[in-house]
Amino acid sequence: MIFNTFAYYLAFLLPSAALYRIAPAGLRTWVIVLFGSGFFLYFAYGMAGVWGAACLFIFVWESLTSRLYRPASRWCLLGMVQSLLLLGVFKYWNFFTSLVFLHRANPVRWQGAFLPLGISFFTFEFYHYAWDRRAGKTEAGSLDEYLAFILFFPTMVAGPIKRYQDFLPKLRAQPVEWNRDWERGVTRILTGLVKKFAIADLLTAWTNHLNAHDILLADRRILPLWLLAYGVKIYADFSGYSDIAIGSARLFGIRVPENFNWPYGRRNIQRFWECWHISLTRWLIDYIFIPLGGSRVAPLRVYANILIVFLLSGLWHGAGLNFVVWGLWHGLLLCGHRLWRRLRGAPSPHPLAALSSSALTFVLTNAGWAFFCMDLHTAMLFFRRLLIG
């Protein structure tokens, strides 16, 4: 990940944050645009790379068409469709076509496929803007403000997923606490780096064993420890990157959404998802769950809506059947929790009940990571060895 490199801090973050601080108010958005586009073109893909040009084309095209969006306009629908099509082509073309030509050679496989860095994140921001412009929930803003929103490089790679109507006032505001912002920003960045290097990377020696060969040869009693190590690693890794992104944004005097709030140890799976990848959870609720009817429809429809949301969440995380199963696993857990609450009412206030509920949630959440970090065949082998031997 780019946040691990000195080049990110020395070539992009510190120079751009310093220039942003001294630039006249009218030019600050263009500082972000300059370094954001440079971040993708010159750093992520290489100065002369065709992929860098292709990535820039995505941003330019989406940004120009966004100028056509109006409340209740069909251009907004076009914007939503083209955002999803671009994501589908770049990320899912080979996955879906391989399902069509199952057990046969895929004649339409894109051999030269590449995945633009952060496409899952900035596609959701493209989509949200078109949706909210159509609903009249956000103003158009100027082209440079929109470009600064999309090309704000601290959040382009791993989120958090921003909302334009929240970002715009912070972009327009005159920062007055530069020293405090830099102090808080640097502290948050260091916190993320500690999570990444002192926790996540150290656990790699354990999580690397989650492959078919090692699983077959290992003592079955060690398997839960490997999976637990992965659960800790992915939390430290992802929340660490979110800390770096949030801290980097703070150097510009801009606050972006929090993404994690100590999800492990929460009492139930619903609370887990309210505290894990918070910006994604809220996006899924606002742009998929509620438009499907949310919780206002018949109970069976609510359960179907939950499963659809988490099926799409799984696919968003990765183009593979294992991610689909991971999403459905969490969808089923949420449906089960909802049904339990409906039949049993409010949870018991007894401390032992809370502790046992938290422990069960932790176990079930970590069990699901098997589908996230291994292909489907290897994950099934893992559970077969764990449960049968």
Other beta carbons within 10 angstroms of residue 353's beta carbon come to: 12
Long-range CB pairs of 49-56, under 8 A, 24+ apart, other chains included: 51/114, 51/116, 54/114, 54/116, 55/116, 55/117
| Closest alpha carbon to 171 in 291, 255, 88 | 255
Please state at what angle helix 164-172 crosses helix 143-150, rounded to 10 degrees.
110
Percent share of the chain, pLDDT over 90? 65
Q: What is the pLDDT of residues 119-152, one digit of tens each?
A: 888 899 999 999 999 999 999 989 999 999 998 9
Other CB atoms within 10 A of residue 283 CB: 23
E strands along the chain, which residues? none
C-beta atoms surrounding 48 within 10 Å: 9
**pLDDT class for 272, splitting at 50, 70, 90?**
very high
Q: Which residue has the higher pLDDT, 55 or 200?
A: 200
Q: Is the pLDDT of residue 1 over 80?
A: no
DSSP type of residue 116: -
Burial of 94 (0-12, 13-18, 19+ CB in 10 A): middle
324 residue type, one letter: V
Cα 314 from chain centre = 11
Q: Is 175 helix (H, G, I), strand (E, B) or coil?
A: coil
Contact status, residue 62 vs residue 126, Cβ threshold 8 Å = yes
**Whole-number pLDDT of residue 257:** 93
Q: Decide: helix, strand or coil at residue 152.
A: coil
What pLDDT, on a 0 to 100 scale, did the predictor assign at position 174? Answer: 76
Task: Return d(Cα 336, Cα 364) in angstroms, integer.
Answer: 12
Rounded distance between C-alpha atoms, residue 198 and residue 312, angstroms: 33
Residue range 89-99, pLDDT digits in tens: 888 888 888 87
Answer whether 1's CB lies under 8 Å from 157's CB: yes
Residues 389 and 387: their CA atoms lie apart, in Å, by: 6
Specify the residue for token string 């090309």. Answer: 151
pLDDT band at 246 (very low <50, low <70, confident <90, very high): very high
Residue 29 has a pLDDT of 92
Q: What is the pLDDT of residues 114-128, one digit of tens each?
A: 677 788 888 999 999
pTM of the model: 0.92
Q: Which of 209, 212, 210, 206 is nearest to 381 (CA)?
A: 212
Query: Higher pLDDT residue, 344 or 211?
Result: 211
Mean pLDDT calculated for residue range 101-115? 70
> Torsion angle, CA of 98/104/106/111, rounded to 10 degrees?
100
Averaged pLDDT score across all residues of the chain: 89
What is the rounded average pLDDT of the residues 211-230?
A: 93
Using one digit for the tens of pLDDT, what is the confidence trace for 32-82? 998 888 777 666 666 556 666 777 788 888 888 999 999 999 999 999 999
Peptide bond into 24 cis (omega under 30): no
What does the DSSP 8-state code read for residue 41? I
Report the percent of the chain where pLDDT is more than 70. 94
Rounded to whole angstroms, the Cα distance separating 317 from 326 reads: 10
Cβ atoms 8, 2 nearer than 8 A: yes
**Span 308-315, average pLDDT:** 96
pLDDT of 387 > 80? The answer is yes
Residue type at 199 in one-letter notation? I
State the catalytic residues.
Answer: 317
